[in-house]
A and B are shown apart, each in its own frame.
Chain A
Amino acid sequence: VSVSTERESDDSAPPLPDWAAGSGTRRGLEACLTHLAAAIEAARTLGVPTQAAEAVRAEAAGRLGFPADVYVLALVGGTGVGKSSLLNQLAGVAVSPASVRRPTTDEPVAWVPASARADLEGLLEWLGVTRVEEHQVAGQGAVAILDLPDMDSVEAAHRERVGALLPRVDAVAWVTDPEKYHDAVLHDEFLRDWIPRLDQQAIVMNKSDRLDADGVKRIRADLERDLARSFLVPGRRRPPVLVTSAKDGDLEELRGWLASEIESKKIVRARLAASLATSAEGLAAEAGIDPLVAARPFLDAGERTSAVAAITSDVLRAVDLPGLERQAVAATRARARARGTGPVGIVTSLVYRLSGREARVADPGGFLVRWRERGPLAPAVDTLRATVTEPIRVAAPAVRPTLAATVEPDRLRVGLEAAVDRAVARHDRTVPSSRVWPLIGALQTVATFALAASVAWVLVWILGGAEVASAEVPVLGPIPIPFLAVILSLAVGYLLARLLGIHAGWVGRRWAGRLRGSVRDAVERAVTDEAFAPLDRLEGARRALWAAARGAVEECRRT
């Protein structure tokens, strides 16, 4: 039973062939494939269309499945420029029929070294080339030359054929002639797109027999100017302009070019690297990223800090920190009252609680939980939206929808609300207590009993004066002691209550301050984490895309 491997699948990619790791690129093709995969992943997150890049990746994977001992060179050009004549002249025999009828070639014809025929079988099948001519010509190098149909005639199918084959060939000779060398079709629809995606390539100016020496010189200069001006790829060598005449058999420059690079594996590798790198760079360009310039974040640190501060203050306005402090102090006071006012306090606390007033004004926990009733998050969400306005404006059009989606108000509001809920739930809401309070309570109890006793004494003294006349009432100066006792115990009770109030207020304010600080910090953390989470995801993708494109430029471009 044979195990079939899936070539298309991302995670189960087949091991790369030996020839993929070479000296042509620093880390070999593996790095380039990794960069493109990373770029595709990041571009998807950013909302940049990735179909074309994925197709390039699939084509590269396809080519890696075949040997690279012989490379495939395609002759591409307009009808009548002499592609077939060139090949026939190169071969010395009529390989591909040339004719006065335009367009001539319908089907691609492959001209391959007989020795490599067997090795090339699979590759040619993958290319869809069925017409194969073998040759024994020595000194041509390990190259299979494809004569392709034209790309500019009324036969639309020919152009489609060329379009389908170009992503799969290893090298291209762009054949043109003195009539067609400035055609819009050649320049705008082919060279512009394909020069960056190929490595081994040349512009062949055929039919030089039509020109005198001066004409050749001028046209060559004209073409070289185009190549330098319109099709310049940074860090890449420029395709040479080769002048030939198939009619006169003058193929010297073409032959020279073919002989200049004979290491087939290097050619295939460089071609795949160029194609992968161009795709990664293309994705970056779509996302508005220049791999050669350090990536600038959507929001810089300063903008971010001030935005977080503004949003936090908007959220806190809804949470209402002064209100929270008031509640905290009131709750502390209530607790102190219950514990430190003796028997009277027990009664008043009960009344306070049962009337529902305690829940309204002295329950910081409940107050925090009900924060949503106190104010809308709209100002906070609007501040956040306004912060992302500028990044949207400067972003590349392809990224704008994704970027704008990060400020979808409903989702933002829900996210912020949940974050604030979590933030306010995290605090210790136990109302503080103090050991002083029971002590004050005990003293207050004593004072209360003393007061009761004094009042009783006064009553007994006034009402039952006759019966107890024998008993002398002690006197301090002119004032009878029972009265003094009443005044004294009242004063002590009052002082104790004041003391409790002052102490409870102090404890309550300290707690309220701590609570306020911790809620503020928690909200700020929540805002920091939540508000920019979607933006950060895009930021991460953008950085990843930049890194991938940069890596592609540095490692997959042969200089």
Chain B
Amino acid sequence: VTDAAPSDLRDLVGRLEALAERRLATRPRSVTATSRATRLADHLSGHVRVRANSLDAPLVVLLLGPTGAGKSTLFNTLAGRAASPTGVLRPTTRRAVVLVHPDDRGPLLEGTLSGIDEERLELVEDAAITPGLALVDAPDLDSIESANRELADRLVEAADLSLFVTTATRYADRVPWVVLERVRERGLPLMVVVNRMPEDAADQRELLADVERLFVEAGLTETMAFQPEAADEPEPTAPEVPEAPEAPEDGSAAAPRIELVGIEEGHVEPATESLRRDAITAISSRIDHLRADRDARIELAARALTGSIAGLGQALEEVADDCEHEAIDADALGRAAAHHFERALVTLRAELGRGTFLREEALRHWQEFVGADQMTRFFSSGIGRIRGAIAGLIRPASAPVAEVRAATTDDLLSVATLHASEAARRTATNWADEPMVRDSLGADPTLWGVSDDFEARLRERLDAWIESIAADIQATGRPKRLMARGASIGVNALGTGVMLGTFMHTGGLTGAEVGVAAGTAFLNHKLLSALFGEAAMAELIGNARRRLDEALATTLAEERARFDALVPSSAELAGLAGELREAALDVRNLPPSLPPELRAVMGSRAAVGAPLPSSG
């Protein structure tokens, strides 16, 4: 199937870029996941988008390798000038040096190098070279300057051809091989330069054979097959330097040779910070050929793009895997937090319902008030009623409203704070060993208890709650007789009674029980039901209880939200994973190589980023 229209490809790349951005926005939680997502985003914006728009955009040839391997020296030699600094102190190059023709500068900065901080780039313009090819000297991969590694990784994602520069000492180092693994994954055409070769010819052969062995073992043969484009161009060879040992040439085209170039140590000319020109003919002639031949450049760009597309499916799936794993972890963490806060709310509710959190001191004052003669007249009959009426005239009772409210609010606050902070402590203890949140938890020690403004927030809500009870009483359509009777008590006192009623269940008590709480509950209940009637009282108390529950649940939810903010949304991640997998499938369904006609169309567009006609 070869009906992948260029516009389809561009749409797909746009979609992929959006997905990669979304993934980065979820802030991946591990170093590997972050680097995978960053790599994907960098690769899409630095290479795939640029190449999907035009195969004729300037070709980027990247010099890549460990510190001290002589990248800059090689670069200077290829550039024919001391453009990149060299020196004995490691690392030498902290910025990427880019050799461009002035005409290529704009397209390059808008395309391939668009995502890179210009501070880290040093553009060397040379009007004498042929446009269409930019040579980039990457900073090292393995020195203590970790920023260099980041920039080099980024350039690997953007390049069309890489020249991997290593040395006879360095070639088995682990760190550069991690980067080479990525070169293989993304299908980047590769040439290998082994610098500082020993002088002895036998040693040279042995060494190159060993280098080749490592590349073959790493599976880097196929993508490295960078064969000379034209048959009429004889393969250049460096004088006195043996080529890679003969690979089986018996028609087994499936195992192409690795392009290995060895350079001897003595070929360095310190005066010009460059190598002897003739030592690097193998490379320079290749570069010259690409500079001269536009078709060869397009061919190479198309190959880099097909290599990229071939690797994209797996890259997308890996990022999808990361998302799924994170979604699972986030879900588990979220559930742990939910469990602890849920439990806190349940125990808090139970404790409030039992009324045991109230201190007797305040209750006694309330009992003295509701048990006073002038109050009991509301629910007693006969002589008690008359006595109460007289007592009310002689010495009117004043309800200890402020005192009971303050005490109740304080007790409620301390019991709620205790449960909320315990939920936070349990969650934090739970999370302390989880890699996903360990660091963010360590950075915010306030998570081990309630937040600083917890009490203030809850107090404000409790005040509003008490106000709402009073409003309820006023709005409850009180019968006239209640107005007459209740007027002497006052809405605030009634509200306090209802407030206490939400915490204290009479539960069949008769008032004769020992204990202030039970006695108060009984008297309070009698008074309220006498004033409002049983049904209205139950409704008032029910409403108050529901609103208190809401206030507590909201405040606890806010506390929990501090934890939830530390983990990404598992639903979002799971959705993203699904979309990434779908996109990976679409990428895999693209034809394995771009059809020749597409290549022709793309090649005919000289302008960078010019829209391609849809072949549909």
The digit string for A179-195, where 1 denotes a CB below 8 A from any CB of B, is 11111110110000000
Contacts known (A378-B357, A404-B428, A407-B425); A392 close to B173, Cβ less than 8 A: no
B428 to chain A: which residues have CB within 8 Å?
400-401, 404
A392 touches B445 (CB 8 A): yes
**Which of A188, A317, A385, A397 is in CB contact (< 8 Å) with B442?**
A397
**Which of A374, A383, A405 is in CB contact (< 8 Å) with B429?**
A405
Q: How far is the CB of B10 from chain A (nearest CB, A)?
A: 39
Contacts known (A79-B169, A101-B207, A401-B428); A154 close to B177, Cβ less than 8 A: yes
Within 8 Å of chain A (Cβ to Cβ): is B535?
Answer: no
Q: How large, as a class, is the contact surface on chain A?
A: 35 or more
**Complex CA distance for A488 and B206, rounded to whole angstroms:** 137
A378 touches B411 (CB 8 A): yes
Considering residues B68, B69, B207, B515, which has the most beta carbons from chain A within 10 angstroms of its beta carbon? B68
Contacts known (A152-B175, A184-B146, A392-B448); A100 close to B414, Cβ less than 8 A: no
Q: How far is the CB of B414 from chain A (nearest CB, A)?
A: 4
B177 touches A374 (CB 8 A): no
A181 touches B175 (CB 8 A): no
A154 touches B214 (CB 8 A): yes
Contacts known (A182-B91, A182-B143); A404 close to B425, Cβ less than 8 A: yes
**Complex CA distance for A408 and B429, rounded to whole angstroms:** 11
Interface residue stretch chosen among A65-73, A211-219, A430-438: A211-219
Within 8 Å of chain A (Cβ to Cβ): is B142?
Answer: yes
B90 to chain A: which residues have CB within 8 Å?
178-182, 222
Within 8 Å of chain B (Cβ to Cβ): is A282?
Answer: no
B175 to chain A: which residues have CB within 8 Å?
152, 183-185
Within 8 Å of chain B (Cβ to Cβ): is A389?
Answer: yes
**Complex CA distance for A397 and B445, rounded to whole angstroms:** 8
B169 touches A385 (CB 8 A): no
B69 touches A393 (CB 8 A): no
B415 touches A376 (CB 8 A): yes
Within 8 Å of chain A (Cβ to Cβ): is B449?
Answer: yes
A395 to chain B: which residues have CB within 8 Å?
445
A382 touches B445 (CB 8 A): no
**Which of B144, B171, B361, B432 is in CB contact (< 8 Å) with A183?**
B144
Within 8 Å of chain A (Cβ to Cβ): is B516?
Answer: yes
B88 to chain A: which residues have CB within 8 Å?
178, 211, 215, 218-219
B167 to chain A: which residues have CB within 8 Å?
179
Contacts known (A154-B214, A376-B411, A400-B448); A103 close to B442, Cβ less than 8 A: no
**Complex CA distance for A78 and B422, rounded to whole angstroms:** 52
A147 to chain B: which residues have CB within 8 Å?
none
A401 touches B432 (CB 8 A): yes
The digit string for B506-517, where 1 denotes a CB below 8 A from any CB of A, is 000000001111
**Which of B68, B142, B214, B361 is in CB contact (< 8 Å) with A185?**
B142
- For B433, give the chain A residue with the smallest CB separation: A401
Within 8 Å of chain B (Cβ to Cβ): is A505?
Answer: no
**Complex CA distance for A360 and B428, rounded to whole angstroms:** 47
B411 touches A408 (CB 8 A): no
A534 to chain B: which residues have CB within 8 Å?
none
B142 touches A179 (CB 8 A): no
B429 to chain A: which residues have CB within 8 Å?
401, 404-405
A81 to chain B: which residues have CB within 8 Å?
169
**Complex CA distance for A385 and B361, rounded to whole angstroms:** 24
Q: How far is the CB of A149 from chain B (nearest CB, A)?
A: 12
Contact residues of A between 328 and 371, Cβ < 8 Å to B: 360
- For B213, give the chain A residue with the smallest CB separation: A101
B356 touches A360 (CB 8 A): no
B425 to chain A: which residues have CB within 8 Å?
404-405, 407-408
**Complex CA distance for A101 and B214, rounded to whole angstroms:** 11
- For B442, give the chain A residue with the smallest CB separation: A397
**Complex CA distance for A182 and B88, rounded to whole angstroms:** 11
Within 8 Å of chain B (Cβ to Cβ): is A80?
Answer: yes
Q: How far is the CB of A154 from chain B (nearest CB, A)?
A: 5
**Complex CA distance for A181 and B140, rounded to whole angstroms:** 13
Within 8 Å of chain A (Cβ to Cβ): is B460?
Answer: no
**Which of B143, B360, B419 is in CB contact (< 8 Å) with A184?**
B143
Contact residues of A between 69 and 120, Cβ < 8 Å to B: 78-81, 100-103
Within 8 Å of chain A (Cβ to Cβ): is B182?
Answer: no
Within 8 Å of chain B (Cβ to Cβ): is A375?
Answer: yes
A527 to chain B: which residues have CB within 8 Å?
none
B360 touches A385 (CB 8 A): no
**Complex CA distance for A102 and B207, rounded to whole angstroms:** 8
Count residues of chain B with CB under 8 A from any CB of chain A.
Answer: 58
Contacts known (A154-B174, A405-B429, A409-B418); A373 close to B515, Cβ less than 8 A: yes
**Which of A179, A373, A392 is in CB contact (< 8 Å) with B69?**
A179
**Which of B210, B356, B410 is in CB contact (< 8 Å) with A379?**
B410
Q: How far is the CB of A185 from chain B (nearest CB, A)?
A: 7
B476 to chain A: which residues have CB within 8 Å?
none
B448 to chain A: which residues have CB within 8 Å?
389, 392-393, 400, 404
B174 touches A320 (CB 8 A): no
B67 to chain A: which residues have CB within 8 Å?
179, 182-183
Within 8 Å of chain B (Cβ to Cβ): is A130?
Answer: no
Within 8 Å of chain B (Cβ to Cβ): is A306?
Answer: no
**Which of B174, B359, B418 is in CB contact (< 8 Å) with A374?**
B359
**Complex CA distance for A382 and B144, rounded to whole angstroms:** 50
Contact residues of A between 503 and 529, Cβ < 8 Å to B: none
Contacts known (A378-B411, A382-B414, A385-B421); A400 close to B143, Cβ less than 8 A: no
The digit string for B127-170, where 1 denotes a CB below 8 A from any CB of A, is 00000000000000011101001000000000000000001111
**Complex CA distance for A383 and B417, rounded to whole angstroms:** 10
Q: How far is the CB of A147 from chain B (nearest CB, A)?
A: 17
A378 to chain B: which residues have CB within 8 Å?
357, 411, 414-415, 418
Within 8 Å of chain A (Cβ to Cβ): is B446?
Answer: yes
B89 touches A219 (CB 8 A): yes
Considering residues A80, A183, A188, which has the most beta carbons from chain B within 10 angstroms of its beta carbon? A183
The digit string for B404-436, where 1 denotes a CB below 8 A from any CB of A, is 000000110011011101100100110010000
A179 touches B170 (CB 8 A): yes
B417 to chain A: which residues have CB within 8 Å?
382, 385-386
**Complex CA distance for A155 and B361, rounded to whole angstroms:** 76
Within 8 Å of chain A (Cβ to Cβ): is B102?
Answer: no
**Complex CA distance for A101 and B209, rounded to whole angstroms:** 9
**Complex CA distance for A53 and B73, rounded to whole angstroms:** 47
B170 to chain A: which residues have CB within 8 Å?
80, 102, 179-180
A179 touches B68 (CB 8 A): yes
Contact residues of A between 159 and 201, Cβ < 8 Å to B: 159, 177-185, 187-188
Q: How far is the CB of A219 from chain B (nearest CB, A)?
A: 6
Q: How far is the CB of B420 from chain A (nearest CB, A)?
A: 10
**Complex CA distance for A152 and B171, rounded to whole angstroms:** 11
- For A378, give the chain B residue with the smallest CB separation: B415
B516 to chain A: which residues have CB within 8 Å?
374
Considering residues A102, A178, A187, A397, which has the most beta carbons from chain B within 10 angstroms of its beta carbon? A102
A385 touches B172 (CB 8 A): no
Within 8 Å of chain B (Cβ to Cβ): is A381?
Answer: yes
Within 8 Å of chain B (Cβ to Cβ): is A497?
Answer: no
B400 to chain A: which residues have CB within 8 Å?
none
Interface pairs (20), CB distance under 8 Å: A78-B173, A80-B172, A101-B210, A102-B172, A152-B174, A154-B177, A154-B214, A178-B88, A179-B68, A182-B89, A183-B67, A183-B144, A188-B144, A222-B89, A373-B515, A374-B360, A376-B415, A395-B445, A397-B441, A404-B449
4 smallest beta-carbon distances between A and B, as pairs: A80-B169, A102-B172, A179-B68, A182-B90
4 more contacts with CB within 8 A, not counting A318-B359, A376-B359, A405-B425, are A179-B169, A180-B90, A185-B175, A404-B429
Which A positions have Cβ atoms within 8 angstroms of B?
78-81, 100-103, 152-156, 159, 177-185, 187-188, 211, 215, 218-219, 222, 317-318, 320, 360, 373-376, 378-379, 381-383, 385-386, 389, 392-395, 397, 400-401, 404-405, 407-409
